[in-house]
Amino acid sequence: MYHFPKNFINKTNKAKYMITTMEYKDEKIVKDDLKDITSPKTFNWVDVVEPTKEELKTIASITKIPIHHLHMAVEEEERPKVVEIDGPFSLLIFGAPSFEEDEITTTPVFMYISKQHNYIITIRKRDAKSISKLKNSEKINSFFDKGPSYFTYRLMDAILSAYFDVLDDVEDIIDKIEDKVLKEPDIHIVEKIFETKKTLIYFTKTMTANREVISSIERGYVHEIDKRRAPQFIALYNDTVQLVDMSTTFREILTGTLDTYLSSVSNNLNHIMKTLTVGASFVLIPTLIASVYGMNFKVMPELYWKYGYVFSIGLMVVSSFAIWLFFKKKKWV
């Protein structure tokens, strides 16, 4: 199986998942209790990874988000989209790259946004390195003090940045595959090509759906996103278009590389067959001459000829030399 570079794979031990609540107080981020988001003084971010049904019930009872909308986060592999929720909530499902062992796939991130209550809740089945990186960002204070709409923008931007990082790495992988196809083509190259294409297919499908989510925000269809912030999402839309184009281009390059591999294998096979043909030709005519004089016919004048042995050997040498000249002219040797 093809291994992606370790710096893009989460090799840490499985985290102890829980509900993490963060609030912006006194110009800094502090961990808070989930119950405090019902009457927040400032913006809150609740981040939940791999929640249990009991945790979802707790969130539903505190936030008043309908429980069936919360169950979507654990029961289904939802495509990125905008979901209308009763009450002062908007649900955005946005696909993020997910790193597990040696595989890179995508995982949906559920963003429950409430402008009225001044918080955003993110729920996902698998950890996303981009969101974990955002938590440890030195600039996170400036993201919190501008409210849920701006924070949603920064959260999506962090996810898209992770896609760019992975695609930059995929580009390096493709360069190595191309070098190996030209120098050492083997069946393992085909496996690497198909594994990389599979990752790109995941990305293309998810990023195309992400693009529609951002387009909905930009057009003002998400009521919990401040319309004054909507123009900022144009940059994210353009980034997503670029990511889709990059992913499509890389898939086309890999398809071309696969064709190159098949041509290389075919050329190598032709070279082997040519080599075998040349070698067999040098053996064929001397063998024919020897087999003729090995037949047990009584009337064969050369059998009793004084120079018959020398003649047959000389005939073999001359015929072999003639074959060599022929192949030399054809540039086969």
pTM strictly above 0.95: no
CA distance 131 to 213: 18
DSSP 38: G
CA distance 152 to 156: 6
Contact call for residues 39 and 61 (beta carbons, < 8 A): no
- Three-state DSSP state, 278: helix
What is the pLDDT at residue 4? 47
- Three-state DSSP state, 104: strand
Helix and strand tally (H, E) in the chain?
8, 7
Q: Which two tokens stand for residue 239?
A: 């980034």
CA distance 83 to 259: 43
- Residue/partner pairs of 258-262 with CB below 8 Å, 24 or more apart: 258/190, 258/193, 260/178, 260/181, 260/182, 261/181, 261/185, 261/189, 261/190, 261/193
What sign for the dihedral angle of Cα 303, 305, 308, 310?
positive
What is the pLDDT at residue 76? 64
What is the pLDDT at residue 44? 87
Question: What structural domains does the chain harbor?
Answer: 6-265 (3.30.460.20), 266-329 (1.20.58)
Mean pLDDT by 10 residues, the chain (333 residues): 42 53 74 74 86 89 89 82 87 88 82 89 86 79 83 93 92 88 80 87 92 92 87 92 94 88 76 81 83 78 79 86 84 73
What is the pLDDT at residue 74? 81
